[in-house]
Amino acid sequence: EKDFKILPIVMGQDPDSWRYLSEKLFCVLKDEKKEVLILASTDLSHYYEYEKACLMDKKLIDYIKRMDLEGLIKALNNGEVEMCGARAVLTLIKLMKEIGAKPVFLKYLNSGDTSGDKSRVVGYGAFVFVKGGGMLTEEDKITLLKIARRTLEEYLKTGKVPDFEIKSENLKRIQGAFVTLHKKGRLRGCIGNIIGRKPLWETVRDMAIESAVGDPRFPNVKYEELKDVDIEISVLSPLKKVSSPNEILLGKHGVLVRKGFNQGVYLPQVATETGWSKEEFLSSLCYHKAGLPPDAWKDKDTELYIFEAIVFDEKEFGLR
């Protein structure tokens, strides 16, 4: 674990404080070499009936998606939308515009979705701002799951590989992924491409087929089984070589072990699902996945690589 410091900032009532703060933060961060995480926290609408709250919060979310500061300020001032921590959010949006980062909408819920009482609810939303290639949105994840499901249906029924029209740039990036199939809670197949040699959507499509008919541990999945099969997708970050097992964080990192011509990989969720210690995790990886002695991970000529994964499944989005 790395040492880090937390600097809390409490926003006052000065209407222009967010402009000043964002400018000062930009001056500090533009030449900063260390990694810095900036969090802005707020609730959204307060104590409206469920449907009205959803409409208000959708308007607010749309302003943030567009990074429309002036429109958002006007909507806040005339009561169209609400945020108790508005100045913190305005600070963040202005700063991200200066940095060149773009917002990715992750999730919206309100208290009515969790408590069941929809007469007076409080809204909550989540965004992340990213530079460069971006990250997967909820819509991206649902699209990938639908691609995997449609591919299995088509391929297992006709033997044909379907094509798809892809609009999201996130799904056109070259990226590795695994597709895992469970049948009634038990593993039914899992195959992936660690490095990524094709666009993400195509990797998922191809790995869906491989997980169904290419996993040597299981007989081929039959079309009639699909009604009982759940699909999970793991989208992988690039591999990073580590010099010591101490750098591996169980549950966060997947691990690839390589020695000579032998290699094997475990996804991050394996450690969570099994409850293994790090030694058990690495020993099983060497023995069961790479065909190496259990303690091969301790050898100086054994290479260890870590990666992270965005893991999601059909049940998460009500697709099953």
Divide the 320 residues of the chain into consecutive groups of 10 and give the mean pLDDT of each group. 82 86 88 83 96 97 92 96 95 89 87 93 92 74 97 98 94 94 96 92 98 97 97 92 93 94 95 94 97 97 93 91
Q: What is the DSSP string of 185-212?
A: TEEEEEEEESS--SBHHHHHHHHHHHHH
**Strand ranges inside 147-302, DSSP E:** 177-183, 186-193, 229-236, 240-242, 254-259, 262-266
The domain covering 138-235 belongs, at the CATH homologous superfamily level, to Hypothetical protein ph0010; domain 1 (3.30.700.20)
Q: What distance in Å separates the CA atoms of residue 246 and residue 263, rounded to the nearest whole number?
A: 20
**List of residues 6+ apart from 295 with CB closer than 8 A:** 283, 286
Please give the helix or strand (H or E) that residue 142 lies within, else none: helix 138-158
In this predicted structure, what is the pLDDT of residue 13?
79
For the four alpha carbons of 278, 282, 284 and 289, in that order, the dihedral sign comes to positive
Domain with CATH 3.30.700.20 in the chain: 138-235
In this predicted structure, what is the pLDDT of residue 133?
52
In this predicted structure, what is the pLDDT of residue 313?
94
Domain with CATH 3.30.1490.150 in the chain: 240-309
In this predicted structure, what is the pLDDT of residue 29?
83
Q: Which two tokens stand for residue 49?
A: 């009936």
Q: By the 8 A CB rule, do 29 and 36 touch?
A: yes
Domain with CATH 3.40.830.10 in the chain: 17-130
The CA-CA-CA angle for residues 72, 76, 77, to 5°, reads 120
The CATH number fitting domain 17-130, selected from 3.90.1210.10, 3.90.850.10, 3.40.830.10, 3.40.190.10: 3.40.830.10
Q: Which two tokens stand for residue 312?
A: 């999601």
Fold of 240-309: Dna Ligase; domain 1 (3.30.1490)
